Structure 1
Amino acid sequence: MTDDHPDYAHPPRAQRRRSQRFASPAQIPVHGAELPEPSPASAMAAPREIAIFDRSALLRQLELVYGRRYMFDDEVELGLPQPSLSTEEQLRLDKLRWLADDERGPLRPLLFGSEGMRDRLAQARLACPNVATVIDLIDRAVALSVMTGSALTVPPILLLGPPGVGKTHASKAIASALGTAIQAISCATNSDCQQLIVGHPTSWRGARMGVVNEALQGTDTAQPVLLLDEIDKFESHRDEQPYHVLLNLLEPQNSGAILDEYLRVPFDLSHAIIIATANDAHRLPSFIQDRLLMVEIAPPLGADLLGITRRIVTDAIAQAGGAIAAPCEEVIARLARAHPRQIKRIVRLALGFAAGVGRSHLTVTDVEAAERLAVGTVTRGPIGFLQARG
Structure 2
Amino acid sequence: MSYSAAGAIGNVLSGVDKSWGNSSIGVVFKLLTEGEFANPVICLDEIDKASNSTLSSGSERNPLNELLALLEPATAKEHRDRCAEIRVDARHIIWIATANSLRGLSAPLLSRFKLILVGKPDARSAITIALSVTATASAALGVPVKRLRGEVLHLLATMTPRVMRQVWTAAAGWAISNGRFDVTMDDISRGLGVDVPAADRLH
Name the SS of the counterpart of 2:115 in structure 1. strand
Identify the range of structure 1 (245-254 vs 228-237) with the bigger mean alpha-carbon deviation.
228-237
Aligned with 2:53 (options 221, 236, 240)? 236
Which residue of the partner structure matches residue 96 of structure 2?
Answer: 275
Q: Is the 8 A contact 1:197 1:249 kept in 2?
A: no
Alpha carbons of structure 1 residues 388 and 286: separation in structure 2 relative to 1, 3 Å: farther
Alignment length (residue pairs): 193
Which residue of the partner structure matches residue 174 of structure 2?
Answer: 353
1:201 Cα offset (Å): 4.1
Alpha-carbon distance in structure 1 between the residues aligned to 2:34 and 2:79: 17
Aligned with 2:109 (options 279, 288, 293)? 288
Alpha-carbon distance in structure 2 between the residues aligned to 1:295 and 1:388: 35
The one-letter code matched in structure 1 to 2:7 is: S
Identity percentage of aligned residues: 28
What is the RMSD computed on CA atoms of the aligned residues? 2.9
Alpha-carbon distance in structure 2 between the residues aligned to 1:318 and 1:243: 36
Which residue of the partner structure matches residue 223 of structure 1?
Answer: 39
Alpha carbons of structure 1 residues 366 and 251: separation in structure 2 relative to 1, 3 Å: same
Alpha carbons of structure 1 residues 262 and 303: separation in structure 2 relative to 1, 3 Å: same
1:332 Cα offset (Å): 0.4
Alpha carbons of structure 1 residues 203 and 347: separation in structure 2 relative to 1, 3 Å: closer
Alpha carbons of structure 1 residues 356 and 243: separation in structure 2 relative to 1, 3 Å: closer
Aligned pairs for 1:279-358 within 5 A:
279-317=100-138, 323-358=144-179
Deviations 1:78-134 (A, max 9, x none): xxxxxxxxxxxxxxxxxxxxxxxxxxxxxxxxxxxxxxxxxxxxxxxxxxxxxxxxx
The one-letter code matched in structure 2 to 1:356 is: S
The one-letter code matched in structure 2 to 1:272 is: I
Name the SS of the counterpart of 1:296 in structure 2. coil
Name the SS of the counterpart of 1:293 in structure 2. coil
Identify the range of structure 1 (276-285 vs 316-325) with the bigger mean alpha-carbon deviation.
316-325
Aligned pairs for 1:47-62 within 5 A:
none
Instruction: Find out whether 1:245 has 2:66 as its counterpart.
Output: yes
Gaps of 5+ in 1: 1-183, 373-377, 380-386
Q: Is the 8 A contact 2:145 2:183 kept in 1?
A: yes
Alpha-carbon distance in structure 2 between the residues aligned to 1:388 and 1:272: 49
Name the SS of the counterpart of 1:275 in structure 2. strand
Alpha-carbon distance in structure 1 between the residues aligned to 2:5 and 2:142: 36
1:337 Cα offset (Å): 2.6
Alpha-carbon distance in structure 2 between the residues aligned to 1:318 and 1:203: 45
Q: Is the 8 A contact 2:10 2:64 kept in 1?
A: no
Instruction: Find out whether 1:190 has 2:6 as its counterpart.
Output: yes
Alpha carbons of structure 1 residues 225 and 342: separation in structure 2 relative to 1, 3 Å: farther
Which residue of the partner structure matches residue 214 of structure 1?
Answer: 30
Alpha carbons of structure 1 residues 351 and 202: separation in structure 2 relative to 1, 3 Å: closer
The one-letter code matched in structure 2 to 1:274 is: W
TM-score by length of 1: 0.43
Alpha-carbon distance in structure 1 between the residues aligned to 2:25 and 2:141: 42
Q: Is the 8 A contact 1:199 1:207 kept in 2?
A: yes
The one-letter code matched in structure 2 to 1:269 is: A
The one-letter code matched in structure 1 to 2:36 is: D
Alpha-carbon distance in structure 1 between the residues aligned to 2:118 and 2:180: 38
